Amino acid sequence: MNRDRQKFRSIRLAKVAIAAVGLAILGIDARGETAIVEGYSTGTKSRDGLGRYYFGREIAHFMSHEAAPWLDRPEREREERPDLVIESLRLKPGDRVADLGCGTGYFSSRLAKAVGPRGVVYGVEIQAEMLKILKVRMSEQGIANVVGVLGSVDDPGLPEPVDLVLIVDVYHEMSHPAEMIAAVCRHLKPGGRIAFVEYRAEDPEVPIKRLHKMTEAQIRREMTVQPLDFVETVSTLPRQHLVVFRKRPDPVR
């Protein structure tokens, strides 16, 4: 009993110290033990945010499935130029790809055509309602190589390693970005890539709420704790940037 009390007291003191410096929070590691995850802090909660910060950025609320029609708005083709996104990814026939936070499958369908019938696209969502919509949309379009996957807030739950993970307008809403991207890296093939598409916070003319935009510098800063190397930033999109990273080779033992 005394040992349990001492353990509880140690954890409580650690929480106090962490909250004071605002650099990390307590999490649970893969073995179910308490671990410190760097980069997190708590602070003022804004209207569109969680009051939970990562490297100084307040994490935004995620979009509910009830707002799904917004993902398929006609003007999105002009505002986001998905054709340029797909072209920039330089996918090959037969590639395995994950569309993380796929929503209604707006990009999943385009990815499916790019990888061809020998390829597979895993549409990953944490909302089962979105996956139901995804299934209907893919059926309506006659697309057979998109597979819905119900992930969690800290793991996409992919059934096999993939060549690319595409994250469109979703990363800024992840409640556990450090854990999720670490899990994504584990699901990547050697040399696999992660591509982030986010509205440019550097541009005040982009008509998106502040917490739903990110600067390139912020994205790159947050990836410094992951086993990733920066590859390129594509800046030809009307309102967003496409920031690409590649999984770093495992160290030689």
Same domain for 185 and 135, yes or no, is yes
pLDDT tens for each residue of 107-124: 999 999 999 999 999 999
The secondary structure of residue 214, as a DSSP letter, is B
What average pLDDT score do residues 127-149 get?
A: 96
Neighbours of 182 (CB within 10 A): 16
Q: What token pair was written down for 249?
A: 């080779």
Q: Residue 16: pLDDT band by 50, 70, 90 thresholds?
A: very low
Domain that holds residue 178: 65-247
| 97 in Cβ contact with 69 (< 8 Å) | no
3-state SS assignment for residue 219: helix
- Domains in the chain, number: 2
DSSP state letters, 132-198: HHHHHHHHHTT--SEEEEE-BTTB---SS-EEEEEEES-GGG-SSHHHHHHHHHHHEEEEEEEEEEE
Based on the fold, state whether residues 28 and 71 are members of the same structural domain. no
Give yes or no: residues 103 and 136 share one domain: yes
Collapse the DSSP code of 94 into the 3-class scheme (helix H, G, I; strand E, B; otherwise coil) and give the result: coil
- Does the pLDDT of residue 26 top 60, yes or no? no
Q: What is the pLDDT of residue 70?
A: 63
Question: Helices (H), strands (E): how many in the chain?
Answer: 7, 12
Cα(131)–Cα(175) distance, integer angstroms: 20
Within a domain: 253: no
Both 107 and 89 in one domain: the answer is yes
Cα–Cα distance for residue pair 75/81, rounded to 1 Å: 10
Q: What is the mean pLDDT of the chain?
A: 87
Judge if 114 and 176 occupy the same domain.
yes
Give the model's pLDDT for residue 15.
38
- What CATH number is associated with residue 189? 3.40.50.150
Does 232 share its domain with 116?
Answer: yes
Do 79 and 46 reside in the same domain of the chain? no
Single-letter residue type at 118: R
Residue 213 placed within a domain: yes
Look at 3-7, 22-26, 29-33, 211-215 and tell me which has the smallest mean pLDDT: 29-33
pLDDT at position 67: 65
Amino acid letter for position 58: E
Which of 60, 84, 103 is at the close of a domain? 60
Whether the CB-CB separation of 155 and 199 falls below 8 Å is answered with: no
Q: Return d(Cα 245, Cα 253) in angstroms, integer.
A: 24
Last residue of a domain, one of 60, 76, 110: 60
Together in a domain, 106 and 194: yes
- Please tell me whether residues 71 and 193 are part of one structural domain: yes
Q: What is the pLDDT of residues 141-196, one digit of tens each?
A: 999 999 999 999 999 999 999 999 999 999 999 999 999 999 999 999 999 999 99
33/100 same-domain check:
no
Residue 253 has a pLDDT of 64
Please say whether the beta carbons of 214 and 195 come within 8 A. Answer: no
